[in-house]
């Protein structure tokens, strides 16, 4: 970073309103916490002597409490339904645990749902609504994505397996998924920065997007690649005016079509790109998910109307106390384990948040809307094909989506 850019970056700290350091710290810690899973499973950081997630959570909670107390907020009435549905969903899943056949999965999932879930949603709400915190969150998220992309590229130079040698296969798989998610988010933010920049800076940001896209082709994360493509295409279009947004959309679609055609004409160049190999020759992952989705639907019907109980799906489906074989879809998990009340409340929380984003978009402003979309879109795609209801990233993203309905008025 040049001296001029560094001065511009730190200048707001000196002249910003009282308490901006607090907001910046909250945003930065929230960014690390949201991507802590990807960081602590990366080979260079896997040996940390402490739990990065827990450390960040301990730091973030008092920062968020101070942020809440030192600002005045205007709250949109449109947040009432999704927030009430989320609160009732947590309560209902705690109650549903009383008839679950699970003990181990239940003991793991309930604290994440009932304790971490509300804290993460509140953090997403406040950090997403506070301008300084939101900017810090975006910078840290972009930095983490670049770091993980560099690690992936460095590992590819010596063979991808060299980077994860000695890792447990399950841990390596989780790392691939989370690193891909971080890179997808960073690519969307970098694409937005490119759309907003001019001259050589735009070219530099486009090269960053290209590098993150290339890195996402290596580890095998199909959902992450899809999220990256959608983020790069759609997010900048939200941040630009109607004509400029449409021009960006058409240009990115043309670039994608050209890139796909080039790879089809040069298939040898796709060798070693694990993500493309999985897309074209490994249907097993999709088939496994389809089996889990069908099982969740079946048990949702058999256990209606109250469900199997929180954490009870894996036992009912014949997998025992193995949390990793959850339904791989939030809505189906809510149906199977929480029954019809669980599904209705999940739809009220997450579906209500999607509707609230659409309704609040005009008053949020294009820049804010685009940045929130960049942070939320990859997680939103992930909860449809992976992760369970106890995952903190989903609740933080829900808070970010709802933060469009929260506006800071002034410092106290």
Task: Map 352-382 to HEC letters.
Answer: HHHHHHHHHHHHHCHHHHHHHHHHHHHHHHH
* SS3 of residue 206 by DSSP: helix
Helix axes 366-385, 169-196, angle to 10 degrees: 160
| pLDDT score recorded for residue 51 | 86
Reading the chain (412 residues) residue by residue, the pLDDT tens digits are 444 443 334 333 333 445 689 999 999 999 999 999 888 888 777 778 888 999 999 999 999 999 999 888 999 999 999 999 999 999 999 999 999 999 999 999 999 999 999 999 999 999 999 999 999 999 999 999 999 988 887 766 665 455 555 555 566 667 778 888 999 999 999 999 999 998 899 999 999 999 998 888 876 577 888 899 999 999 999 988 788 889 989 998 898 888 778 777 766 666 656 555 555 555 556 677 888 999 999 999 999 999 999 999 999 998 899 888 899 999 999 999 999 999 999 999 999 999 999 999 999 889 999 999 999 999 999 999 888 999 999 999 999 999 999 998 764 4
| pLDDT score recorded for residue 12 | 37
**Whose CA is closest to 213, among 145, 306, 160, 113?**
145
| pLDDT score recorded for residue 40 | 86
Q: What are phi and psi of 168, to 5 degrees?
A: -60, 135
The residue to which tokens 């001065």 are assigned: 7
| pLDDT score recorded for residue 109 | 94
**Residue 41 burial (CB count, 10 A):** 22
| pLDDT score recorded for residue 5 | 44
Distances, alpha carbon 122 to alpha carbons 37, 391, 402, in Å? 20, 15, 10
- The pTM of the full predicted model, rounded to 2 decimals, is 0.89
Write b or e for each residue in 201-240: b if 16 or more Cβ atoms lie within 10 A of its Cβ, otherwise e. Answer: eeeebbebbebbbebbbbbbbbbbbbbbbbbbbbbbbbbb
- Rounded Cα distance between 332 and 295, Å, is 9
| pLDDT score recorded for residue 269 | 62
| pLDDT score recorded for residue 243 | 87
Q: What are phi and psi of 75, to 5 degrees?
A: -110, 130
Both tokens of 161, joined, read: 């397996």
Contact 292, 298 (CB under 8 A): no
- Rounded Cα distance between 85 and 310, Å, is 17
Helix (H) or strand (E) holding 411: strand 406-411
Omega cis (within 30) before 383: no
For residue 407, list its beta bridge partners: 74
For residue 411, list its beta bridge partners: 71
At a CB cut-off of 8 Å and minimum separation 6, what does 36 contact?
Answer: 52, 53, 56
The residue to which tokens 């940390």 are assigned: 48
**Sign for the pseudo-dihedral over CA of 284, 286, 287, 293:** positive
Q: What are phi and psi of 42, to 5 degrees?
A: -70, 135
């Amino acid at each position: 970073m040049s001296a001029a850019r560094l001065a511009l970056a730190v200048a707001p700290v000196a002249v910003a309103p009282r308490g901006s350091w607090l907001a910046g710290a909250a945003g930065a810690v929230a960014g690390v916490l949201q991507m802590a899973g990807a960081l602590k499973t990366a080979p260079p950081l896997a040996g940390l002597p402490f739990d990065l997630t827990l450390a960040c959570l301990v730091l973030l909670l008092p920062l968020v409490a101070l942020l809440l107390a030192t600002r005045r907020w205007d709250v949109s009435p449109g947040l009432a339904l999704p927030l009430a549905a989320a609160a009732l969903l947590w309560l209902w899943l705690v109650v549903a645990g009383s008839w679950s056949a699970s003990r181990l999965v239940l003991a793991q999932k309930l604290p994440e749902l009932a304790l971490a879930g509300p804290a993460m949603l509140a953090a997403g709400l406040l950090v997403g609504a506070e301008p300084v915190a939101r900017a810090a969150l975006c910078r840290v998220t972009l930095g983490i994505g670049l770091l993980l992309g560099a690690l992936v590229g460095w590992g590819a130079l010596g063979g991808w397996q060299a980077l994860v040698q000695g890792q447990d296969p399950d841990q390596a798989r989780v790392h691939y998924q989370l690193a891909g998610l971080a890179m997808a988010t960073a690519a969307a933010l970098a694409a937005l920065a490119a759309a907003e920049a001019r001259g050589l800076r735009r070219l530099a940001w486009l090269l960053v997007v290209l590098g993150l896209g290339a890195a996402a082709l290596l580890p095998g994360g199909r959902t992450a690649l899809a999220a990256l493509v959608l983020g790069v295409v759609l997010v900048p279009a939200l941040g630009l005016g109607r004509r400029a947004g449409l021009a960006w959309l058409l240009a990115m679609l043309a670039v994608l079509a050209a890139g796909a055609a080039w790879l089809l004409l040069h298939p040898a160049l796709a060798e070693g790109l694990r993500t493309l190999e999985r897309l074209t020759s490994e249907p097993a992952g999709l088939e496994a998910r389809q089996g889990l989705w069908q099982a969740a639907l079946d048990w949702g019907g058999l256990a209606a109307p109250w469900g199997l109980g929180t954490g009870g799906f894996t036992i009912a489906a014949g997998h025992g106390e193995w949390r990793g074989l959850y339904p791989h879809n939030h809505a189906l998990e809510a149906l199977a384990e929480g029954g019809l009340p669980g599904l209705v409340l999940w739809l009220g929380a997450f579906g209500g948040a999607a509707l609230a984003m659409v309704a609040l978009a005009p008053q949020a402003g294009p820049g804010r809307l685009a940045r929130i979309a960049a942070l939320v879109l990859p997680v939103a795609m992930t909860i449809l094909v992976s992760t369970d209801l106890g995952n903190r990233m989903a609740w933080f993203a829900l808070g970010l989506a709802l933060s469009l309905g929260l506006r800071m008025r002034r410092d106290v």
